[in-house]
């Protein structure tokens, strides 16, 4: 019997990604903390990436630079990051740096979200979660080799 698309790994990955994006946007809206889920993700990436430029952020968020520019500008207006124009590899780039206010908010958000994440871990063994993460990374690398992508 041929596998239906809705039973395929590709569908499961896509539907789960969409589901979690919607879920976290809704969750952050309900928390009413002044930033969206995507802004918090961007803030975390900026915090964890030395000399993070807009292109780096776009690559990790898998969004175009116009969208990441809007996200960065929003975070800057809220005083959560600084945007500085610098030269990197002989090209002008916008370097994004988290502020003390951004670090404080990011930590507060993690403290709020952690109990929910821990509830998930109560139902799924951490080893299985780690195995799933590794498998997904491998799957993505294989797909990137097999399918020509321009992301």
The pLDDT averaged over each successive group of 10 residues in the chain (151 residues) is: 88 93 92 93 95 92 92 98 90 94 94 90 91 93 83 63
Helix (H, G, I), strand (E, B) or coil at 95: strand
Cα Dmax for the chain: 58
What per-residue confidence (pLDDT) applies to 61? 93
d(CA 100, CA 32): 20
Looking at residue 151, its pLDDT comes to 63
**pLDDT of res. 121:** 87
Distance CA 108, CA 106 (A): 5
Bridge partners of 96, per DSSP, are 52, 83
Give the DSSP H/E element, type plus range, for residue 93.
strand 91-98
């Amino acid at each position: 019997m041929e596998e239906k698309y809705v039973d395929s790994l590709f569908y499961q990955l896509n539907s789960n990604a969409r589901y979690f994006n919607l879920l976290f946007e809704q969750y952050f809206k309900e928390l009413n903390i002044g930033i969206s889920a995507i802004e918090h993700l961007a803030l975390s990436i900026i915090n964890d990436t030395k000399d993070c430029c807009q292109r780096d952020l776009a690559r990790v968020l898998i969004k175009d630079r116009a969208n990441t520019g809007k996200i960065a500008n929003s975070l800057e207006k809220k005083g959560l990051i600084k945007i500085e124009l610098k030269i990197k590899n002989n090209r002008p780039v916008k370097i994004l740096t988290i502020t003390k206010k951004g670090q404080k908010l990011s930590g507060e958000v993690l403290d709020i979200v952690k109990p929910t994440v821990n509830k998930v871990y109560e139902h799924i063994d951490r080893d299985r979660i780690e195995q799933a993460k590794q498998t997904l990374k491998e799957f993505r690398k294989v797909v990137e080799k097999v399918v020509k992508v321009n992301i």
